[in-house]
Amino acid sequence: MATPSSNSARHREARERARQAATPRVREGAAGPAGGRPSHPNAVIEFRGVTKKYDSTHAGVSDASFSVHRGDFLFLVGQTGAGKSTLMKLLLKEMEPDSGLIRVAGRDLSEITRKKVPYYRRNLGVVFQDFKLLPNRTVHDNVAYALQVTGASRKQIRSQVPDILRLTGLSTKLHNYPHQLSGGEQQRVSVARAFVNHPPLLLADEPTGNLDPDTTIGIMQLLYRINKTGTTVVVATHDEGMVNRMRRRVIELSAGRIIRDEIAGGYGGQPQSESTAEFGALLRDEPAPAPQRRTRRESAAASSLFDDAFSD
């Protein structure tokens, strides 16, 4: 990964971010109820001064402000209790912030009615540490179910499920039940399920928390490939080694506060340069696509990837 070309790509990325940061933002209050524009057209996630307190001693998230742009790969790190899962739950609209503004694809989450929440969530792929598979359904049916609930036709299911199972290396396990799979395979199924709709945003909360290092690489490889298709990926993790090696953007939380936001950071330790090239090869079993310059029109389309159904 530390090749000269990827370094220059990173520098380009950093310059682009600096340029974007310097671009005047749309007035904060200018976002309309449902179709409001994001303060940056390329922002998929925006937190502005978001606070969620559980009680007086437990600050879930405190005054968090950050943006995640289309196509970003973001690691959320921090010690246990730092607020990573709280942040994910806020994004999933499982809970509401006490104050501050959260926008996803330009829409203020507080304005999505309860009835519209399921439509909103269709745009999100979600992967959990404990897989959350349906125990009485086969691999195929676990993944097909995710499509069925969105109203996909039988024809779509017949074509998309085998495709995603191939991508995730599960073609030979179609008829197995979750209890007949290893932990890594179960997590592959849950990644397949999260991605079968090709959501514009994928959230993974400790996706490798229960897996050994080799299996972890396989899951990260999948998330990396999913990100390369253009899906924005946010991964909360304790896996210091993996974060250091992947050299992606890192936001670190401590007691609910953002204490670090680095474009290509490590977990807080030193980059593991001795294995970077090998690791890069391991992670991508295909050459990484050349960094793409987005046209203004493409950049402005971050929100257009999202289903309009959740806005009124």
Ligand X SMILES: Nc1ncnc2c1ncn2[C@@H]1O[C@H](COP(=O)(O)OP(=O)(O)OP(=O)(O)O)[C@@H](O)[C@H]1O
The CB-of-63 to ligand X minimum distance in angstroms stands at 14
Which of residues 78, 184, 199, 218 is near ligand X by CB under 6 A?
Answer: 78
Whether the CB-CB separation of 198 and 167 falls below 8 Å is answered with no
Would you call 4 helix, strand, or coil by DSSP? helix
CA 258 – CA 67 distance, rounded (Å)? 12
CA 109 – CA 96 distance, rounded (Å)? 9
Question: Which listed range, 79-87, 134-142, 210-218, 293-301, lies at the site for ligand X (CB under 6 A)?
Answer: 79-87
CA 88 – CA 93 distance, rounded (Å)? 9
The CB-of-220 to Mg ion minimum distance in angstroms stands at 18
Binding mask 54-73 for Mg ion (x = CB under 5 A): --------------------
Which of residues 67, 85, 160, 208 is near Mg ion by CB under 5 A?
Answer: 85
The DSSP letter of residue 79 is S
Q: In angstroms, what CA-CA distances link 256 with 79, 94, 133?
A: 10, 17, 30
The CB-of-158 to Mg ion minimum distance in angstroms stands at 37
Residue 80 binds which of Mg ion, ligand X, none (CB < 5-8 A, kind-dependent): ligand X
Question: Which listed range, 25-33, 82-90, 191-199, 257-265, lies at the site for ligand X (CB under 6 A)?
Answer: 82-90
Nearer to ligand X, 44 or 82 (CB): 82
The CB-of-64 to ligand X minimum distance in angstroms stands at 11
**CA nearest 216: which of 125, 146, 290, 127?**
127
Which of residues 42, 62, 85, 187 is near ligand X by CB under 6 A?
Answer: 85
The CB-of-234 to Mg ion minimum distance in angstroms stands at 13
Burial bucket for residue 43 (CB in 10 Å: 0-12, 13-18, 19+):
buried
Residue 132 binds which of Mg ion, ligand X, none (CB < 5-8 A, kind-dependent): none
* Helix or strand holding residue 308 (H, E): none
CA 63 – CA 90 distance, rounded (Å)? 13
Residues near Mg ion (CB under 5 A) are 84-85
Residues near ligand X (CB under 6 A) are 54, 58, 60, 78, 80-86, 238
